[in-house]
Chains A and B, each alone.
Chain A
Amino acid sequence: MSDPGTADLAHGEIAQLEDLIDRESLREVCRSFFDLFGLSIRVFSVKGSLLANVHEERSICRYVNSLPRGKTACAVTVGGAQALIPEKGTVVHPCFTGAVYHIVPIIYDERQLGRIILGPFMPADVKEAPRSLLQIDPQMDAERATTALREMPRVPAETAERIATHLRGVLDLILFSGHRAHLTSAMHLATVRESYRELAEKNARLQEAFDKLKELDRLKSNFLATVSHELRTPLTSIIGYSEMLQAGIAGEMNPEQSGFVETIRTKGELLLALITSLLDLNKLERGQVKIEPELVDPKAVLTEVKETYLPEAEKKGITLEVHCADDVPQLLADPVRLRQILINLAGNAIKFTPESGVVRLSATATQMAMADSDEDDDGIGAALMMAPEPAIEFKVQDTGIGMAQNQLDKIFDAFYQVDSSSTREYGGAGLGLSIAHNLVTAHSGRIRVESELEKGTTFFVTMPETPPEPD
């Protein structure tokens, strides 16, 4: 409420005449009155600024002003008329020529905002030049003065009052419209300011919540890292002792015991793999995985992956093929991580491909535009940024169960499972693809998927031959 603008708004008060009236328009209105009634009009604000002045110098005024004493007397009269402040109604201010000024207050919303000065004009009942005119200057020529006085407009008092009322009515309308426009714009401004304040408050609250969540996320990652690490230590012992039991270090076991220990060992290893994936993902998400690139031969990597899965594929009756032309160039990548990407993808392919299916691993030379990342894909500077560079495209293609189109954009999310029901046929923690995606991105590569239900799935991993220097 300390802001005066707000205080005005709170009571819907009008500011001042100057703010509400366009001077040019006011002059036009006064001019049209002058043209209609031949009466000079001046409009003053309550502070005394002249807002409109439409008048014509009368012959008598010109004559009086040509005489030294007349000029002085005229200035006093006009000054008096302009200084007069009518309290309630019209005030009549006489001139020594017998003419009068009518001074009419402009009242709006019970407040005086200014005044209108009408005249000089001759009241209808003044017939001849008064003595006050003839005596004002010793050089006054009575005949000339009388002739000049006849040209002064004659207006009966009641007509003058009607003209004033009419002009006041017009002004009131202008003031009302101006007042309304003034309040509307003030209200617009205040409303916008208030909305801005509310939004700023809300933003601050959101920022606070966001910071809290970020901190929670960091705590979660730390917790995950610690827990995974703590789980791994005893698990290594479980696996190690199982192996020792199987090796017969603690004495021979019968086939049934050996089978039980084998189950303990394989489940332990599964659990270890899961925990390792969790740790990996955690590190990847925190950007803690270091990529150590060296020259890698695509065909060699694919062959290695094939050898890893060959026993499992044979057991399921799946054909596992590698296609890689000899001229596919080497690429700069972290060999361990590249192998991990392909192993994750190939593992999935084998898992979801039924008996007598085919899983095909391949690599071809291709080209890719490095700058074509999602966040910068606004098409700006395409002629520069879309320049293709040599790359290698790895493909992992299967003839498995496939996925529906609406699943495809979620499969790279951590812990996402296409079938997450408790009775699902295929196991896994849903981390493999997320890890692969993170690793590909860490190499500035791209991964995408094409799939059709019951037909099979193909993963495409495009890796630059030479990863760009980080920005």
Chain B
Amino acid sequence: MQLDFQARELTVKLVYYGPALSGKTTNLQAIHRLLAPEGRGRLMTLETKDDRTLFFDLLPLSFSTEAGLTVRIKLFTVPGQVIHNSTRKLVLQGADGVAFIADSQVNEVRANQASFKDLRKNLKENHISPSKMPLVIQYNKRDLPNIRSEEEIMRMAAKGKERTYLATATHGTGVMETFLGLIKTTWERMEEEHTLAARFGLDHREVISNLSRRFGVEAPLE
């Protein structure tokens, strides 16, 4: 999080993490597609080779609050392939929240777990305690055969602390929910740490309803 008091500007960095080919870029593409154009930047993709992300994707979003604060949200993806570890570590620097995009296919269990371990390791190497990083989990690719059942996922999720979502990013379903869930989790954490509401008159309800409207949803979620 970066706060520029003079410009009354708040910059928040959110990172989409996960194993190779789990649909991180597809999530950003769907957000880009679903959001109203106002305040939505271009989706920037750095160096792709055969449709695989080499460095990262970046989608900037911004809006102004009633109290006159400009909120800039930067969505990043990391490259999932194992060899790009130093890039993942660099992208994680300064992250305020992480959405972990898991692959729902049964035979991807190991890849999901390995990537999550990698996330924990990279957070620690960036001197961030993994338990303090706002995190949501998305089980993507719900439209594929041979996937882990919803009941099973929810039973596992109930044992953890994180909000967990199901999605089919290629169709755009579950993408907004994951994104807004990540915003909520991240904001709760930032409010706790930086007393944003007291200092800027900004609380997560305003942020969520603002962003929801731009997804074309009037009623704020949960």
Instruction: Please report A residues at the B interface, Cβ cutoff 8 Å.
Output: 1, 6-7, 9-12, 109-110, 176, 179-180, 183-184, 187, 190-191, 194-195, 198
**Which of the residues A1, A10, A180 comes within 8 Å of B46, measured between beta carbons?**
A180
**Which of the residues B2, B11, B44, B72 comes within 8 Å of A183, measured between beta carbons?**
B44
A9 to B95, CA, bound (A): 12
Flag if B46 contacts A183 (CB, 8 Å). Answer: yes
Flag if A183 contacts B58 (CB, 8 Å). Answer: yes
Evaluate whether A187 and B76 lie within 8 angstroms (CB atoms) in the complex, with A7-B94, A10-B13, A194-B90 already known: no
Which chain A residues border B47 with CB–CB below 8 Å? 184
A180 to B42, CA, bound (A): 11
Which chain B residues border A10 with CB–CB below 8 Å? 13, 90, 93-94
- 9 A-B pairs with the lowest CB-CB distances in the bound complex, closest first: A10-B94, A194-B86, A10-B93, A12-B58, A110-B62, A187-B55, A191-B86, A190-B90, A184-B46
Which chain A residues border B87 with CB–CB below 8 Å? 187, 191
A166 to B205, CA, bound (A): 38
Flag if B56 contacts A187 (CB, 8 Å). Answer: yes
Flag if B70 contacts A11 (CB, 8 Å). Answer: no
Evaluate whether A6 and B89 lie within 8 angstroms (CB atoms) in the complex, with A11-B2, A180-B46, A187-B46 already known: no
CB nearest to A184 among chain B residues: B46
Question: In angstroms, how far is the closest chain B Cβ from the Cβ of A126?
Answer: 35
Question: In angstroms, how far is the closest chain B Cβ from the Cβ of A58?
Answer: 38
Residue from the set A11, A109, A194, A198 with the largest chain B CB neighbour count within 10 Å: A11
Flag if B74 contacts A12 (CB, 8 Å). Answer: yes
Flag if A11 contacts B86 (CB, 8 Å). Answer: no
B60 proximal to A (CB < 8 A): yes
CB nearest to A108 among chain B residues: B41
Q: A9-B90, A180-B44 are in contact. List 8 more A-B contacts (CB 8 A).
A: A12-B58, A109-B60, A110-B41, A110-B72, A183-B55, A183-B58, A184-B46, A194-B89
Which chain B residues border A190 with CB–CB below 8 Å? 90
Which chain B residues border A11 with CB–CB below 8 Å? 2, 11, 13, 74, 94
Which chain A residues border B60 with CB–CB below 8 Å? 12, 109-110
A176 to B42, CA, bound (A): 8
Question: In angstroms, how far is the closest chain A Cβ from the Cβ of B37?
Answer: 14
Binary flags per residue of B85-122, CB closer than 8 Å to A gives 1, else 0: 01101100110000000000000000000000000000
Evaluate whether A187 and B2 lie within 8 angstroms (CB atoms) in the complex, with A12-B58, A110-B62, A176-B44 already known: no
A343 to B42, CA, bound (A): 83
Which chain A residues border B70 with CB–CB below 8 Å? 110
B interface residues, tally (CB under 8 Å): 24
Flag if B55 contacts A184 (CB, 8 Å). Answer: yes
Flag if B93 contacts A6 (CB, 8 Å). Answer: yes
Which chain B residues border A176 with CB–CB below 8 Å? 42, 44
Evaluate whether A1 and B93 lie within 8 angstroms (CB atoms) in the complex, with A109-B60, A110-B70, A187-B56 already known: yes
Which chain B residues border A12 with CB–CB below 8 Å? 44, 56, 58, 60, 74, 76
Which chain A residues border B41 with CB–CB below 8 Å? 109-110
Flag if B90 contacts A187 (CB, 8 Å). Answer: yes
CB nearest to A12 among chain B residues: B58
Binary flags per residue of B6-44, CB closer than 8 Å to A gives 1, else 0: 000001010000000000000000000000000101101
A245 to B94, CA, bound (A): 87
Flag if B74 contacts A198 (CB, 8 Å). Answer: no
A284 to B39, CA, bound (A): 78
Pull 17 A–B residue pairs with CB atoms less than 8 Å apart, ordered by A: A7-B94, A10-B13, A10-B94, A11-B2, A11-B94, A12-B74, A110-B39, A180-B46, A183-B46, A184-B55, A187-B55, A191-B55, A191-B86, A191-B87, A194-B89, A195-B86, A198-B86
Which chain B residues border A195 with CB–CB below 8 Å? 86
CB nearest to B12 among chain A residues: A11
Which chain A residues border B39 with CB–CB below 8 Å? 110
Which chain B residues border A184 with CB–CB below 8 Å? 46-47, 55
A7 to B87, CA, bound (A): 15
Binary flags per residue of B35-71, CB closer than 8 Å to A gives 1, else 0: 0000101101011000000011010101000000010
Which chain A residues border B42 with CB–CB below 8 Å? 176
Which chain B residues border A187 with CB–CB below 8 Å? 46, 55-56, 87, 90
CB nearest to B45 among chain A residues: A180
A190 to B126, CA, bound (A): 14
Which chain A residues border B46 with CB–CB below 8 Å? 180, 183-184, 187
CB nearest to A197 among chain B residues: B86
Question: In angstroms, how far is the closest chain B Cβ from the Cβ of A8?
Answer: 10
Which chain A residues border B11 with CB–CB below 8 Å? 11
A109 to B60, CA, bound (A): 7
Which chain A residues border B55 with CB–CB below 8 Å? 183-184, 187, 191
A150 to B123, CA, bound (A): 68
Residue from the set A7, A9, A12, A194 with the largest chain B CB neighbour count within 10 Å: A12
Which chain A residues border B93 with CB–CB below 8 Å? 1, 6, 9-10
CB nearest to B42 among chain A residues: A176
Evaluate whether A179 and B94 lie within 8 angstroms (CB atoms) in the complex, with A11-B2, A12-B60, A194-B86 already known: no
A109 to B89, CA, bound (A): 25
